[in-house]
Structure formats: C-alpha cells, structure tokens
Amino acid sequence: MAAAVEKKEHLYKILVIGELGTGKTSIIKRYVHQFFSQHYRATIGVDFALKVLNWDADTVVRLQLWDIAGQERFGNMTRVYYKEAVGCFIVFDVTRASTFEAVTKWKADLDSKVTLSDSTPVPCVLLANKCDQAKEGLVNNVSQMDDFCKEKGFVGWFETSAKENINIEEAARFLVTRILQNDEAIAKDEADTDRIILNGPKDSSLTEKKGCCS
C-alpha cells in the first residue's frame, strides 16, 4: 500500500476584538464566508466561525475565529473567551479616532488575561479597518503606525476593508504564519493526557480517546 502522507492538522483559536462597530463581524464574515453586508446585527447564538485552510501540501489549518459575543461588548470578556487563544486581531475603525485610542486598552486586556503556554504574549495583529473610507488620526502616517505597533507589541498591522475585501486574506495569512512559527518553537512538553472533556452519554466511548487537549 502506498504510504499515504498523513496531513498535519492544526486547530487554532483566534480572537477578534476591538470597539463596537469597528467591523469585527464583517471581517470574520468576509474572511470565512466571502461576503459582506452593511447590516449585521449582533452575533447571536454563535461562539465562533470556522475557516479551513489548506496551508500547504501536508498541512491543514482550522481556524476558529471567536467574535466577541454580540453584547459582551462593554469590554468585559470572560476568561473562557480568551482561554487558549493562540492569535488575535484587534480591530479599529480608521474613520473614528476613538476606536484607535481603545486599541491600547484592548491589547492590555488581552495580555493580562491570556498568554501562550510559554508565557509569551499571544501574537496580535492590528487591523485598521474601513480603509476604503476617509481616515482619521494616526493611521495616515505609516511610519508612526509601525512605531506604535512596535511599542505596543503588535506583530504587525494591516489596512483592511471588509467591504472591499482588502488585505483580509493577507492579514490572516500573516497571523497564521506567526502562529505556526510559535507552534514549532514552543516545546510540547505539556502533553497532559488526563484532562477530561465532558461528552454526552452517546459519545462516552470517545471520551477516553478524545479527552485530552493541548
């Protein structure tokens, strides 16, 4: 029998945070579902959107993009939201400078609530969304934005437009590349096989096999 090359499959949790109305949901929908609407409402009933990437010939990457549940919106995120995330997008709206000012707050909240397993910060990409519209504030100055990202610990930034489908794929690809690098770098000595994930009675036979994580 021909040796079938086993594909490596990665499942990554990515957070999408930022102020209200900056277009987080739009970005996720554009990226995952290839469509854009002016009229999203609260993201109700859904934890995350899933995007499957055939990264290369032998790697499949499954991205869980966790939107802040529609109305967990006053910046009070639960730990279960942050927990075990390996990447993050912080989104601001280039047309509203106030949303950029909040970026620092979101980054600090993120870093205070979650780190990678080796205690380094979760790689975070800054998205300057709605770049198809008139910009306000710092985002007009590329070198200043670069400095800002460096200072605040962002791994990079992109001008994006969910509406015009600008740079979203690129930003995601950039972040996933980072995550894959981290994944290789971080020793997997934490293989802890006796964590239990509760399953329904029907799945109880699977519990033993699947009951491990990270």
Partner 1 sequence: MADEFPTEFDVIVIGTGLSESILAAAFSRIGQKVLHIDRNGYYSGRWCSFNLQAVDSWINQTKGEDALKATDADTIKNLISDEESTIELELIDKSYSHTNVTFNIGDDKTDVESDLKEKASSEADIIESNEVKNNDSVAANNSSVASEQSKNDTKDTSQKVNTDIKDNVTADVKDCTIDVKDSSTTGVKDSGLNSSDSKTIGEKKELPESVVDNDIKKKEEIWTKSRLLKEWRKFNLDLTPKLLYCGGSMVQLLITSDIAKYCEFKTVTRMLTLLDGKLEKVPCSRADVFNSKDVSMLEKRMLMKFLTSCAEYDKKPTEYEAFTDRPFTDYLESKKLTKNIKHFVQHSIAMATGETLTPEGLAKTKKFLHSLGRYGNTAFLWPLYGCGELPQGFCRMCAVFGGVYCLKMSASHLVVDKDNKCTGVISTDGKKLTAKYVIIEESSVPFPLFNASNKRYISRAVLVTDKSIVHDGSQQLSLLQIPKSDGRYLTTVIELPPSSMSSPSPLNVVHITMETENEDTTPELDLQDIVNTLFQTEPSQDDGKPVIMWSMFFKREFYCDVSVDRTVVPENVIVIPGPGPQLDLDIVVDQSRAIFEKLMPGEDFLPRPPNPEDIIYIDDAEKAVKDESNKSDFTESDQSESTNKPNDQSESDNSNFTESIDKPKDQSQSNNSDTTEFKSDQSETIDKQNDQSQSDNSNSKESKSDQSESINKPNDQLQSDNSSHTGSPDQTGSTDKKEPKTE
The distance of closest approach from Cβ of residue 131 to partner 1 in the complex, given in angstroms and rounded to an integer, is 13
65 Cα distance to chain centroid: 5
Cα angle 7, 55, 119; round to 5:
90
Closest to partner 1 by CB, 142 vs 213, is: 213
In the complex, least distance from residue 171 CB atom to partner 1, rounded to whole angstroms: 18
> What's the rounded Cα separation, in Å, for the pair 36 and 39?
9
- 8 A C-beta contact, residue 61 and residue 55: yes
Nearest to partner 1 of 10, 152 (CB atom): 10
Q: How far is the CB of 124 from partner 1 (least distance, A)?
A: 16
Give least dist CB 183 to partner 1, A: 6
Residues 6 or more apart in contact with residue 33 via CB below 8 angstroms: 49
Of 5 and 79, the one with the shorter C-beta distance to partner 1 is 79
Q: Which string of DSSP letters, residue by residue, matches 40-72?
A: -----S-SEEEEEEEEETTEEEEEEEEEPPTT-
Query: With respect to partner 1, which residue has the nearer C-beta, 42 or 108?
Result: 42
